[in-house]
A and B are shown apart, each in its own frame.
Chain A
Amino acid sequence: MNLEVDLGIKISNPFILASGILDENGYTIKKILESGAGAAVTKSIGMEERRGYEPPVVYENDPVFINAIGLSNPGIDNFGEEIKIALAAKKPVIGSVFGKTVEEFSLIARKMEQYGASAVELNLSCPHVNGYGMEIGSDPDLVNEIVSEVKSKINIPVYSKLSPNTSDIVEEAKAAEKSDALVLINTVKAMAIDIKAKKPVLSNIYGGMSGKAIKPVGIRYVYEIKRELNKKIIGVGGIENINDAVEYMMAGASAVQIGTVVYKYGKNIFNKMNNDLVNYMIDNNIDNIDELTGVALK
């Protein structure tokens, strides 16, 4: 039985830690990798140290989860040590990158490669910080330019994480076509008001929604993009169990990212997903995990 996935780098199983969850401190990333994740994406890292928003930064109301951390990060110059600590797990660490300009994306991606990152994920889609992420993701020419520039400057795979908060995700995906894989989807822009306090809960007011409730949105985008473009896709959004992961794969994903659910089941969710996948493959006579990718499109 083969659980290995090829995303330009070989990943021992299709379950990857999603960016933004338990991936700021190198020791935590290492622990997640030791808990069964095939690879881990780091927190999005920018040029400068950035504080992010004051709490509340999360709103939890299962199956809905909304966050607005605000791209808090230590700045790329301070992140090398964390990657080094994480790499002791001897599994791929994927550096998530955000920037304001083509040059910033390029410079940070090059540093990620120098630090030993196995691949980079371009955050073209953070929904809660002005001037970053989603605004860039909504400009196809800029996306194309960023992806082309980063691809030309580094020798490790480049993944592009795209936003569902756009009028035409196919256009966005085409603009990022030079990427080695597309990561679908980032969080859905959302907010919550506490009716007793009569105020928005998140200090930033708006945040990005994740959790089980967004899974159908993610499935739709993975399916639609896989049908339109024959690109490798990493599915993400609301995955809580093996059936959710299989659904994403059937929609066209080669691998999946898991994030929010960690607050419900802890880091051991990765070991559980691996065990459940093996059982699923035995029960369904599947030898190779690749066989699942895109079966719903056939």
Chain B
Amino acid sequence: MKTSIIYENIKLNDNTNIIKFPCNEKIEPGQFIMAWVPGINEIPLSFSGLNDLKEITIKIYGKASEHIAHLKKGDTVFFRGPYGKPFENTAGKKLLIGAGTGIASLVPLIDKNAYGVLSGKTGNDIVFQDRFEKKSIVTDDGSYGKKGYAVDALKDMDISEFDMIYACGPEIMLKSVMDYMVNINDRAQFSLERPMKCGIGICDSCSINGYQVCTDGPVFSLKQLMGMSEFGSTRLNYSGKRIKI
């Protein structure tokens, strides 16, 4: 395993932290590492910052994420990677659509031409809103921003004016966003998340229509996703049983 030493840990809210650590690997936006907590578990994590210090934003959902979210300055982080196909960072007007901490992996793409759509179940799920100059915020319960889903925010704007659209979040949200996209051609890239075990394209856990999210993705183009009957419909659970999404 590769290692790095934690330089800083910033608490973002009740269940989300940012860890910062130095790392010489060449990492591009959208790529991920498999972070290992010895004796506990190993989880995929993507980057919210790719400067001299690398930043990972972690929402706590289990033992491994809890452990990593609470690493202190001087602690060791174990990982392998980086893995996966990155976002293609294009020039021009960008629309970045993120659900909850899904927005974190889009943060490295932010520039002066970026417009953000940040969605969440509640206001507590909205993070990184201060990084965007121009943005729309929506929450399921209306506790922050407008009440509604990510796709509702898109309905209030003219998405055809963007040169590239980037999205990251739960598959069901991505599917609704994709279904809303007409006349976008292939000017959209989506980062998918499916249960991952090996991270290197052989265990078949995260597969979608023959593509492995860990190696062929996690970033897929709109055109690729249009041809995938499993997208937003079914996936395999951790055991390998087909379930509805």
Contacts and interface: CB of A to CB of B under 8 A. Distances in A.
Given A24-B236, A72-B238, A60 B38 contact: no
A49 B241 contact: yes
A4 interface: no
Contacts of A228: none
Interface stretch (A26-34, A123-131, A179-187): A26-34
Interface string A44-71: 0000011110111110100000010100
A227 interface: no
B23 interface: no
A160 B128 CA distance: 56
A119 interface: no
B146 interface: no
Contact of B242 (A32, A52, A58, A81): A81
Contacts, number: 116
Interface residues of A, number: 42
A196 B209 contact: no
A47 B39 CA distance: 29
A247 interface: no
B202 A22 contact: yes
B16 interface: no
Interface in B20-76: 34, 36, 38-39, 41-43, 76
B78 A194 contact: yes
A262 interface: yes
B204 A24 contact: yes
B3 interface: yes
Interface of A: 21-25, 27-28, 30-32, 43, 49-52, 54-58, 60, 67, 69, 72-75, 78, 81-82, 194, 196-199, 201, 203, 259-260, 262-263, 266
Interface of B: 1, 3, 34, 36, 38-39, 41-43, 76, 78, 80, 196-205, 207-212, 215, 230, 236-242
Given A21-B204, A31-B211, A74-B236, 14 more contacts: A21-B202, A22-B207, A25-B207, A28-B212, A58-B200, A60-B80, A69-B197, A72-B238, A194-B1, A194-B38, A194-B78, A196-B76, A197-B36, A266-B215
